[in-house]
Structure 1
Amino acid sequence: MTSTRPALTRRRLLTAAGSTAALAACGSGSGPAGPGTPLRIAAVNHVWSQAIQERLPEFEELSGRRVSMQMLTADQLGSSYNVKLNASATDIDVMMVRPLQDQLLFARNGWLADLTDRVADPAFAWDDVQEAVRERSTTRGRVHSVPVVTERPALYYRKDLVPAPPQTLDDLLEQALALTDGDTFGYVGRGQRAGAVSQWSSFLFSFGGDFTTADGGSGIGSDEARAAYAYYGRLLHEAGPPGATNMSLEQAMPIFAQGRAAFYVDADAIYTNFLDPSISTVMDTVGFAPFPAGPAGAVPYNIPSWALAVNRFSRLQDEAWRFLEWAAGPDRVKEVQTAGIPGARQSVWDDPATAAAFPPELAEAMRVNTANGTGHDRPEVIQVGRARDIVGRPLVAGILGEDVDPVAADADAEFADFLVRDNRQQEF
């Protein structure tokens, strides 16, 4: 799709910010802020934030307003939101949020401005944002965020050990088992109880399962889910490193980077770690491939890992929206994606110039996974952390070599009860 969006000029920014287009659904807080008040952005310390920070002088020139960006870790950012927004604080205007982790809770709490009418402006080209990730920005039929960073799983593999990447999960398991010896693990991946759930999701979907059923009940006790639990457990139990149940991204990734594993499935956003000579010994041998097909085909996640939202208590909501329009518009997304940071606009993905920013195999894997992907990688609930803890329990059993069926049945009952309570909390 080719965007027809007009250039975001200084005149257009100032005219829009000074107009009466502060829509009723996006009220402008408790009072006006003076022209000397900076636009304050709360962001996670991420490569996207760093890239945007370098370009802030351009936005300041266009908008005529100074911008202050604070970058924190994800945990620090979450704690800051809980403290400040519970107190209806006005000293945050633009919020960087995780749609799948934060948005449902934040929307229920009334912390996010409604952007539905904002994104409907044809100039913003909302329909250019990929459908799977665009849907995650919508809660109860209202748009509360604009995605800026997307993520899919990639199958990382060693070309010196594997002549071609496996096309199916059966092939992956067979090859991983065959390549496991005293010096090399056939597979490494996340194994922590809650932390592994997001990466396991692609296995679950590709076995034909999901976290919940069509009527909102628990899906983790289904035949498909139990098969996915058993498969992932066997993969790490028989082909993975010792202590896999303690492995997060930070523990699993270096094992592959140091050449100690043949296969690794994790987010495509981390690929630069394997091309960095200060971290990796597999720079010349790492390969990239799409997620392999299971019984239900290849169904990886394709999610917005980070998005921008507007604090409902901000007194600069018009200016905050203009920042979103600038930072998430086609021109900026193309700039940032050309620097190797995957965005959410289809027109940018369709541009050959942006594909050239990634290794060719990875660019193709991203394209395939985007086309096949589903828009979530965890249960879509308010209490995401608790849900992941329940869903992850059978994963641990499988990785330890235990029978997953009784554990999955118990977790299924617990998750079903949890969903009843969580669904009541979603009535807002």
Structure 2
Amino acid sequence: MSVTTSLTWRRSTVRGAAHTVVGLHIADNEEVAMRSTRVIAVLGTTVLAGGLAACGTSGAANEGGETSSLQVMMSPHSITDMIEERLPEFEEATGIDVEITSLNEDQVSQQLRVEFGSGNSETDVFLYRPPQDSAQFVNNAWIADLTDKVEGDAEFDWNDFGAPTREAVTSTEGNVIAVPVATARQMLFYRTDLFAEAGIENVPTTLEELEATAAKLDGDDVAGICLRGQRAQAVTTFGQFLYAFDGDWNDGGAPYGDATIDSPEAIEALEYYGNLVSNYGPDGVLNMSWAECSALFSQGKLAMYIEGDDRWPEFTDPEKSTLTTEQVGYAPSPAKTSVVTPQAFGMAAGSDNPDGAWEFIRWATSKEMAAEMQAAGVMGARDSAWESEQTAEKFPADVVTAVQDGNANGVPYDRPRIVSVGEARDAIGGALVTAIEGGDVAAAAKTANEAFQQLIDSEKTEFGLE
């Protein structure tokens, strides 16, 4: 095979509200517009020794020495950049030609649904968003069971992924359906200078302390805190407060358990969230998602802000913020954070090359690749990556500490885990709006619970989950 590389790669513009860290999108399924391109990478020359040391050629070459191939679907961001850069090493070590289809995240979801639903798919491996897509992929048996592969490979070291992260990609039947590449938690961002001026020596670690601190720092020019208030968008931020009050979306935390949005715990969480935001949040909070709250924090108009930890670089970036590194602090959320997997590699259940597909996933999510991705700003899924030299050089120490705390103790989901998650978020978001407005929270929670239960019952019938 000739040593050539044929690449057509266009950087694209993202509209709307999708979280980003060095181009990594986290999960709120807003409108996204990107051009689709095709990337075909052919054999290169350098071998990454560590990540490929155990990559054999079983399943890679056909009889007669012909080279096999893989079809991989991904989205253009820093994870893809790193894989594309290193891809010749994988191909040389395994003899597998890899063809990457590059689509934006929404298009990946849509394309996979079309391909898998029609039973006419050539995709072997795909980088996807488990919070949005896992329910449908599992319910329709579109995604392969990787349990034997991840648990039977000592060198791969499945336990290097924290327990919540492993659970996030494990089905209710106990099957591992994907390997995480990135993780995200909720983090408390706070103004160290305002804390000092107010004589506040300790960062809040409980909900009582959070409310008291917000009250002390709230003023005419600076709001005490900002949390999302925009209906459906607020639900993933609310999750950590729901868990902190020992509530959950469903009975027993089961994806299709009975809805529990009107439980005493959930009502208490809704009331706390509503009071905190309405009493100490900025004006117009009902119209605010992460973009609006982030802008206010960057402009110096918030004392505290709880949001996805991937936002941390922008708050001290002089091109995006008025704040400096001396003014911004990072800490674990005083609530009970979620740990979600915004990006993970799955294998198509109908792949024609499952051995080659696993070799690719194994390589792309290896310890060595995970550490290199940290250097590019990816908030990775492996515990070892957070202890690497690359992490120490890239991330502030307090960010690392907060991430490690969340990875060890977080809840592995931040929203209902059903196919109709958008409709569920909208229903639950209605109760959040009522709480912020100071309305009848119990009545709103009952209405939300009934709507959520209807979605659960409909899907249980559709997918035979009775």
TM-score, structure 2 as length reference = 0.80
Determine the structure 1 residue equivalent to 2:248.
Answer: 210
Query: How far, CA to CA, are the matches of 2:360 and 2:102 in structure 1?
Result: 16
Query: Which amino acid in structure 1 is aligned with residue 84 of structure 2?
Result: Q
Among 349, 371, 396, the alignment partner of 2:408 is: 371
Alpha-carbon offset, residue 399 of structure 1: 2.0
Determine the structure 2 residue equivalent to 1:14.
Answer: 57
The number of equivalent residue pairs is 404
Do the aligned partners of residues 65 and 252 (structure 1) sit closer, same or farther apart at CA in structure 2, a change above 3 Å counting? same
Query: Which amino acid in structure 2 is aligned with residue 124 of structure 1?
Result: F
Determine the structure 2 residue equivalent to 1:48.
Answer: 79
Determine the structure 1 residue equivalent to 2:176.
Answer: 143
Do the aligned partners of residues 145 and 19 (structure 1) sit closer, same or farther apart at CA in structure 2, a change above 3 Å counting? farther
Do the aligned partners of residues 205 and 414 (structure 1) sit closer, same or farther apart at CA in structure 2, a change above 3 Å counting? same
Secondary structure at 2:260's aligned position in 1? coil
Alpha-carbon offset, residue 186 of structure 1: 1.7
Q: Is the Cα contact below 8 Å between 2:189 and 2:331 reproduced in 1?
A: yes
Alpha-carbon offset, residue 303 of structure 1: 2.0
Determine the structure 2 residue equivalent to 1:304.
Answer: 341
Query: How far, CA to CA, are the matches of 2:105 and 2:286 in structure 1?
Result: 23
Query: Which amino acid in structure 2 is aligned with residue 15 of structure 1?
Result: S
Query: How far, CA to CA, are the matches of 1:342 and 1:235 in structure 2?
Result: 29
Determine the structure 2 residue equivalent to 1:269.
Answer: 310
Query: How far, CA to CA, are the matches of 1:226 and 1:255 in structure 2?
Result: 29
Alpha-carbon offset, residue 148 of structure 1: 1.0
Say if 2:191 is the partner of 1:158. yes
Among 83, 101, 110, the alignment partner of 2:114 is: 83
Secondary structure at 1:143's aligned position in 2? coil
- Comparing 67-76 with 219-228, greater Cα deviation is found at 67-76
Do the aligned partners of residues 226 and 310 (structure 1) sit closer, same or farther apart at CA in structure 2, a change above 3 Å counting? same
Determine the structure 2 residue equivalent to 1:126.
Answer: 158
Q: Is the Cα contact below 8 Å between 2:186 and 2:337 reproduced in 1?
A: yes
Query: How far, CA to CA, are the matches of 2:147 and 2:265 in structure 1?
Result: 37
Query: How far, CA to CA, are the matches of 1:186 and 1:45 in structure 2?
Result: 37
Alpha-carbon offset, residue 208 of structure 1: 1.5
Alpha-carbon offset, residue 270 of structure 1: 1.9
Query: How far, CA to CA, are the matches of 2:178 and 2:208 in structure 1?
Result: 38
Determine the structure 1 residue equivalent to 2:227.
Answer: 189
Among 88, 91, 95, the alignment partner of 1:60 is: 91
Q: Name which structure has the greater RCO, CA cutoff 8 Å, separation 6+.
A: 1
Q: What percent of counterpart residues are identical?
A: 37
Q: Name stretches of at least 5 consecutive residues in structure 1 with no aligned partner.
A: 1-5, 21-33, 293-297
The root-mean-square deviation of aligned C-alpha atoms, in Å, is 2.5
Secondary structure at 2:306's aligned position in 1? strand
Among 458, 461, 465, the alignment partner of 1:421 is: 458
Determine the structure 2 residue equivalent to 1:27.
Answer: none
Deviation digits for residues 212-233 of structure 1 (CA, Å, limit 9, x no counterpart): 1127222211121111111111
Query: Which amino acid in structure 1 is aligned with residue 180 of structure 2?
Result: P
Alpha-carbon offset, residue 236 of structure 1: 1.9
Query: How far, CA to CA, are the matches of 2:380 and 2:231 in structure 1?
Result: 29
- Comparing 311-320 with 263-272, greater Cα deviation is found at 311-320
Say if 2:216 is the partner of 1:178. yes
Deviation digits for residues 347-381 of structure 1 (CA, Å, limit 9, x no counterpart): 33345663453101111111222222111111122
Query: How far, CA to CA, are the matches of 1:253 and 1:83 in structure 2?
Result: 35
Determine the structure 2 residue equivalent to 1:390.
Answer: 427
Q: Is the Cα contact below 8 Å between 1:90 and 1:315 reproduced in 2?
A: no
Determine the structure 1 residue equivalent to 2:276.
Answer: 235
Matches within 5 A, 1:224-373: 224-284=265-325, 285-292=327-334, 298-351=335-388, 354-373=391-410
Query: How far, CA to CA, are the matches of 1:352 and 1:242 in structure 2?
Result: 43
Q: Is the Cα contact below 8 Å between 2:339 and 2:413 reproduced in 1?
A: yes
Query: How far, CA to CA, are the matches of 1:291 and 1:423 in structure 2?
Result: 34
Query: How far, CA to CA, are the matches of 2:76 and 2:282 in structure 1?
Result: 30
Do the aligned partners of residues 11 and 98 (structure 1) sit closer, same or farther apart at CA in structure 2, a change above 3 Å counting? closer
Query: How far, CA to CA, are the matches of 1:115 and 1:417 in structure 2?
Result: 32
Deviation digits for residues 281-333 of structure 1 (CA, Å, limit 9, x no counterpart): 123211101111xxxxx521112221100122333332221110001111111
